[in-house]
Amino acid sequence: MEKPYNGRAIIHENSYELEIIIPIKKNWFLIIFFGAWLCSGWVIGEMIGIIFFILTVFIKELYFNLFILFWLCFWTVSGFFIFKIFLWNAFGKEVFTFKKGTLTIRKKGLLLSQPKIYNIQEVKKIRVEQEESTSDKLLYRKNLIFSHTNGTIRFSYGLQDVKFGDGIDEAEAYFILEKLKSKKILTDENF
């Protein structure tokens, strides 16, 4: 007999705040592939680039020196972005904190990510919309590689739509919204 699904969200509550933690759905292909590439291919490429750059100082060919410098910069920046994607897929969590009339959304495990703070009174048209499936068999979820703004729960804030709760099912999203409504964190004006 199949056990009922208890959801992925972890809810912590006390007298002054409610915190919801949603671990990201792991993309094992990206974790293994990017982890291996960072540990071997990127490190070797970076070392070779540095050695070539040091050696080109003694060569008077300006174009070759510029090419190596450009390649080294590109390789370093691309390695940073791959490392960012790797960390998010391996350790990422979305953390939502409702406290004193504010909603704070943090992406733990995503490098250089700033928390976003929203005034609960300005949150309008909160709704549940399942993310369109953009998956294939190899990458699992292609839109997750380049975007960290997916989510099943959405709301309007001024003239923008904000999404959060990536990877949760509709039933779990409705459960979270009902929990927030029962705690009087969200009111009918938010819906």
pTM: 0.79
Rounded mean pLDDT for each run of 10 residues along the chain, 191 residues in total? 84 91 90 93 90 79 81 93 92 93 93 92 93 55 56 94 90 94 91 89
Task: Name every residue whose Cβ is closer than 8 Å to that of residue 167 and which is 6 or more positions away in sequence.
Answer: 8, 22, 24, 25, 150, 152
Which of 161, 25, 16, 11 shows the shortest CA–CA distance to 96?
A: 11
The two structure tokens encoding residue 126 = 């909160």
Residues paired with residue 10 on neighbouring β-strands, in sequence order:
21
Please identify, in words, the CATH class of the domain defined by 10-24+92-190.
Answer: mainly beta
**CB count in 10 Å sphere of residue 74:** 11
Beta bridge partners of 18: 13, 98
Q: What pLDDT does 52 receive?
A: 84
